Amino acid sequence: MVTTTPPVTEKNRSRRARSAARPGDRIFSGLSKGSGITLLVIMAAIAVFLTYRAVLAISKDEANFFTTFEWNPAGSPPVFGIAVLAYGTIVSSVIAMVIAVPVAIGIALFISHYAPRKLAKPLAYVVDLLAAVPSIIYGLWGAIFLVPYLDGLNQWLDQYLGWTYIFDKSADGVARNLFTVGILLAIMILPIITNVTREVFLQAPKMHEEAALALGATRWEVIRMAVLPFGRSGIISASMLGLGRALGETMAVAVVLSPSFLLSGHLLDPGGGTFAQNIAAKFNEANEFGRDALIASGLVLFVITLLVNGAARMIIARRKEYSGANA
C-alpha cells in the first residue's frame, strides 16, 4: 500500500486526510455515519407516526382544535381543543423561569466566585442531586408538603397584591394552582440551569478577571464586567434547557395541579392544565381515538419546544462574540 502511494503533494495530502485510507478510520467513519443516519431515521419514523395519528384525530374533531376550551374525545360528537393546555403550559413555565433563572445564576455565582472551596464542592453536588430526584417524588412532595404551606403565601399575595389582577384570588380553594406548579417547576429546573451556568462562569477568562482586580475593581465589579457578559450566551442556553424541562414536565404537574378547562388570568385560582399533565391524566382510560387526540396535543407541545429552541439559538447566534469558542 505504501509503495503505491503517489508522491505527496499539497493536493494529495488533503485528499488522503479526507478519504480515510486506513481500515480503522474507514470503520469508524462508517460507524459514526451509520449512527447519525439511524438517529435521523428513528426521528423521522417517530415524526411520521405522530403526525399520522394526530391527523387521524384532528380530522374527526368537531370543534376548532386550537380555540376550544374542552377535552372530550370520547363524547359524541368528539370535541377537544388545546387552548387551555397551551396557555397553562406557557404560563407555568414562565413563572418557573422567572423564579428559577435569577436564583440559579445566584447559586452559580456563589459556587464559582464567592463560596470557600470547602463549601462550593458539596453545594455543587447537592444541586446536582436535585436533578436525580424522580419527578413523581417532586409531585408527591409538592402535593403533600408544598400545597398546604403555600396556602398562606397565596392568601398574603391575594391580600396585598390582589390589585394586580393576576394575584387576585377570586375562587376559594387550596393552592393547587398554576402558581404552585410554577414554583415546583422552578425547583425542578434549578439544577440544570445552575450546573451549566456554573460551568460557563468557571470558564470566564482568568486574565480578564485578574486585570479587572488589578485595576482596583471589587469582586462584584469583576463579576459584572468580566464574568456576566462572558457567560451571557451560556446563561441563555442553560435557561432554555431548563425551559425545555419545565414545558414537558408531566408527573409532578399531574399530581399537584387541580386542572380545569377554563382560561383564567387569576394565577392563584385552582384550574388550568398543561399538555403533559393532560396526557398523563387522560391516557389510561382513553380509547384509541382518545389516545390519538392526546398524541395530537403532544405534537403541539413538540412544536412549541421547537420554536423555543429556535429562538434561543437565534439569540445565542447574535451574541457569538461572547461565546466560549472565541475566548
Partner 1 sequence: MKLSRKNGLRASAIGALVVSGALVLSACGSDNNNEPTKGGGEKTSAAASNIKCDGAKGQLLAAGSSAQKNAMDLWVKNFQAACEGVEVNYQAIGSGGGITKFNQGQVAFAGSDSALKDEEVAESKKICKGGTGVNLPMVGGPIAIGYKLEGVDNLVLDAPTLAKIFDNKITKWNDPAIAKLNPGAKLPDSTIQAFHRSDESGTTQNLGKYLSTAAPADWKHDPKTKSWPAQGGQAANGSSGVATAVKDAEGSIGYFELSYATANKISTVSINTGASAPVAATTENASKAIAAAKVKGTGSDVALSLDYATKAEGAYPLVLVTYEIACDKGNKAETLPTLKAFLNYAISEEGQKVLADADYAPMPAEIAAKVRAIVPTLS
Please give the size of the binding site for partner 1, defined by CB under 8 A.
Answer: 40
CA atoms within 13 A on the CB side of 239: 25
Binding to partner 1 (CB under 8 A): which residues in 203-262? 254-255, 257-260, 262
Q: Is 125 in the site for partner 1 (CB under 8 A)?
A: yes
Q: Is 179 in the site for partner 1 (CB under 8 A)?
A: no
Binding to partner 1 (CB under 8 A): which residues in 92-121? 121
Q: How far is the CB of 282 from partner 1 (least distance, A)?
A: 5
Binding to partner 1 (CB under 8 A): which residues in 147-176? 147-148, 171-174, 176
Question: Quick one: cell of 277?
Answer: 399533565
Binding-site member from 57, 143, 187, 222 for partner 1 (CB under 8 A)? 143
Q: How far is the CB of 72 from partner 1 (least distance, A)?
A: 7
The contact mask relative to partner 1 for 252-271 (x = CB under 8 A, - = no) is --xx-xxxx-x-------x-
Binding to partner 1 (CB under 8 A): which residues in 297-326? none
The contact mask relative to partner 1 for 73-92 (x = CB under 8 A, - = no) is -xx-----------------
Bridging pattern class, strands 79-80 and 71-72? antiparallel
> Is 62 or 221 the residue whose CB approaches partner 1 more closely?
62
Residues in contact with partner 1 by the rule CB under 8 A = 71-72, 74-75, 121, 124-125, 128-129, 132-134, 137, 143-144, 147-148, 171-174, 176, 254-255, 257-260, 262, 270, 280-288, 290
